[in-house]
Structure 1
């Protein structure tokens, strides 16, 4: 059902947090906001790029007038994007470091949903991915200001808003995304750390996220009928997929291996955890050359639970990404900004929709208030960091954002 233009006009006029948007995207510098690109997608798939605004008031007026079904945020240019035709050089200079994870990229491992659908039972794949991404960005790179946004249907976006993240070149963004990414995808279901797993010499960062997130996440998602029966190892698709993965990575896998593995995976009176232990034991027995005899089960756990990034989203300053608090045109969901803690307990089925938000507003209830409050906390953190001043050894004031 298409979004009502009347509903969108009311939403942008009365509810959409234009002032907070301005405070977020200006980082205390109004010219920074003024050089920011916005794009609008209007009803009828009319696409408007290189829009820019002087302040929150001008942004809100244009939203009310245009009633976009989608708003994307782009880079900060050397001049205001609306003035691009008046200059000889027009280039994106800065932008938040962003990441995109889509649940449809996990279709090969989830049973409960496929394609664009998402539910509370497959959300743990996303929450595990976000924990891993959060850990690596903070501990390996020292970033602090991370905001996660549910896209309204199947995706989660990570906005890394630290000043040094915003100043990264395209080459640096590409290198950073490549450092984090291990998933290669394809029909072969590959990750690029097979050799490291075999040799037992994973990067310490990967060892850490395996222990803290991947192993327990895999257990809760695929080895627990109590927590997630619909995706567990008792499901034929999950068991068959494990069978294929083991067969692909055990050298000399033949009929005898297949019979033993099938028995381990289909023991009717055994729990999923018992079955996985039996599979792991067989893999260890069959491994003849690798230092880590359990590398195949670990490979599968990494493959299932590690973030499957759309790395192209992260590579360029001029890439556009959906804004928080817009309405997804296909679902009517509000695209919500989330802290990591909120993301861990998020239920897609309970995500507020535009009609609910408008109905509640008419009854004096501000449905989005908790999310707006947390958004403000995030903005305040970015602002305080941007304003923090320290004295270097020469007594010169330098910003440390």
Structure 2
């Protein structure tokens, strides 16, 4: 990045901060603060181990320093400005989750556009919130667009503040479905006069697996026996032999060994829907294991594990600007999340309303504020918010006005 570009962005970031009122996190004076200035060179230099006593008021500090990135700690300390973690005196930490579009299995780098990546990340965010709100029952959640490639969720319920790293890792494993054990998500129900082990239906991973088993059962009901056999056989981990065992196990006569695909028998698909582990022996267990694996793959929340387990993590300040995009790190009300569009709602109004000259070095299509721009290499006059985005992303330099 050229010095002219860096100076321009630093100046306009300062204009943004002078016009913006930011809300600091709870216990702001107990947290460590850090920032990255607009320094020259290929790398970045983090200035950290600062407290609010060092910085002064957030608004004054940001307007004066005009930093490229701003962070605060998940942790709260006795001495937040101490130069080593051991000297800070850890008290507690928020539980922070980070979803990064670059790390999502559903994202194809080089093919998905920035807008498509962020849309897929929002889908992952909704799955994460389902875990946090429904499975864990957390209530004090702050949802934030990171300003870059994804979303953050800050959980501040009192019950989690004192969790150590290993306990936080258990939360990570749960939302990612790591180490899910079918034996731990089952319950007993009476089947006639006989107790049977079935998949738990009342919440958690058991409910998610049960919903997929029910959907599979509904599909099979619409098929003849041969089609049903083929549908079961194509499930990874089941195969032809196990499919026959399963259909035999849930047939009216319960003749597991005698079933063939040419035989018309009455199938009780409610047994599959129930996730009856007792029925059909190893066949039904293989089916449930396969459906569980499908469920975890499709419905887990692919969070960045080190962020959540790190009690000392620095995370972006909501309301600040992301120096790699020029977009705002935007706090989102839960009721507004469905309609939130980061490429519209996170564009700072400070950069709207006039044009600037930029020299584009990396052309292509950019979607911002509901418009699609195709920019070619060379000098162009563009809306400032587009120019700031291109310069912050390293795709343009500031042109002569």
TM-score under structure 2 length normalisation: 0.58
User: Which of 103, 113, 124 is matched with 1:105 structurally?
Assistant: 103
Matched, 1:15 2:3: no
- Assess if the C-alpha contact under 8 Å between 2:237 and 2:290 holds in 1: yes
How big is each residue's C-alpha offset from its partner over 1:24-70, in whole Å with a ceiling of 9 and x where there is no partner? 322xxxxxx32310110122312101111139953222222221211
Q: Cα 1:119–1:48, aligned 2, differ >3 Å: closer, same or farther?
A: closer
Counterpart of 1:78 in structure 2 is 78
Counterpart of 2:60 in structure 1 is 61
- Assess if the C-alpha contact under 8 Å between 1:104 and 1:114 holds in 2: no
Paired residues for 1:311-326 under 5 Å: 311-326=305-320
How big is each residue's C-alpha offset from its partner over 1:247-284, in whole Å with a ceiling of 9 and x where there is no partner? 64235799xxxxxxxxxxxxxxxxxxxxxxxxx99xx9
User: Which of 325, 336, 339 is matched with 1:345 structurally?
Assistant: 339
Secondary structure of the corresponding residue to residue 49 of structure 1 = strand
Counterpart of 1:250 in structure 2 is 238
- Assess if the C-alpha contact under 8 Å between 1:69 and 1:327 holds in 2: yes
Q: Which has the higher contact order (CA 8 A, sep 6+)?
A: 1
Counterpart of 2:394 in structure 1 is none
CA distance in 2, matches of 1:348, 1:51: 30
Normalized per residue, the structure richer in strand is 2
Counterpart of 1:49 in structure 2 is 48
Secondary structure of the corresponding residue to residue 341 of structure 1 = helix
CA distance in 1, matches of 2:30, 2:177: 35
CA distance in 1, matches of 2:309, 2:152: 14
Q: Cα 1:303–1:56, aligned 2, differ >3 Å: closer, same or farther?
A: same
Secondary structure of the corresponding residue to residue 50 of structure 1 = strand
Shift of 1:121: 6.0
- Assess if the C-alpha contact under 8 Å between 1:152 and 1:328 holds in 2: yes
CA distance in 2, matches of 1:339, 1:211: 30
User: Which of 294, 300, 309 is matched with 1:306 structurally?
Assistant: 300
Paired residues for 1:148-163 under 5 Å: 148-163=143-158
Shift of 1:73: 1.4
Counterpart of 2:268 in structure 1 is none
Secondary structure of the corresponding residue to residue 158 of structure 1 = strand
Secondary structure of the corresponding residue to residue 283 of structure 2 = coil
CA distance in 2, matches of 1:154, 1:287: 46
CA distance in 2, matches of 1:338, 1:173: 24
Q: Aligned pair count?
A: 287
CA distance in 2, matches of 1:10, 1:353: 14
User: Which of 86, 89, 93 is matched with 2:91 structurally?
Assistant: 93
CA distance in 2, matches of 1:155, 1:40: 20
Q: Cα 1:80–1:107, aligned 2, differ >3 Å: closer, same or farther?
A: closer
Q: Cα 1:58–1:182, aligned 2, differ >3 Å: closer, same or farther?
A: closer
Paired residues for 1:264-283 under 5 Å: none
- Assess if the C-alpha contact under 8 Å between 1:42 and 1:70 holds in 2: yes
Normalized per residue, the structure richer in helix is 1
Q: Cα 1:312–1:360, aligned 2, differ >3 Å: closer, same or farther?
A: same
Give RMSD over aligned pairs.
4.5
Paired residues for 1:352-363 under 5 Å: 352-354=346-348, 356-359=349-352
Secondary structure of the corresponding residue to residue 16 of structure 2 = helix
CA distance in 2, matches of 1:287, 1:56: 66
Shift of 1:135: 1.7
Shift of 1:97: 1.2
Counterpart of 2:381 in structure 1 is none
Shift of 1:320: 1.4
- Assess if the C-alpha contact under 8 Å between 1:149 and 1:324 holds in 2: yes
Which one has the largest radius of gyration? Answer: 2
- Assess if the C-alpha contact under 8 Å between 1:325 and 1:335 holds in 2: yes
Secondary structure of the corresponding residue to residue 148 of structure 1 = strand
Gaps of 5+ in 1: 27-32, 185-190, 220-242, 255-279, 362-366, 368-401
- Assess if the C-alpha contact under 8 Å between 1:71 and 1:322 holds in 2: yes
CA distance in 1, matches of 2:282, 2:169: 37
Counterpart of 1:168 in structure 2 is 163
Gaps of 5+ in 2: 187-196, 217-230, 243-271, 355-368, 370-401
Shift of 1:307: 0.9
- Assess if the C-alpha contact under 8 Å between 1:100 and 1:158 holds in 2: yes
Counterpart of 1:271 in structure 2 is none
Counterpart of 2:376 in structure 1 is none
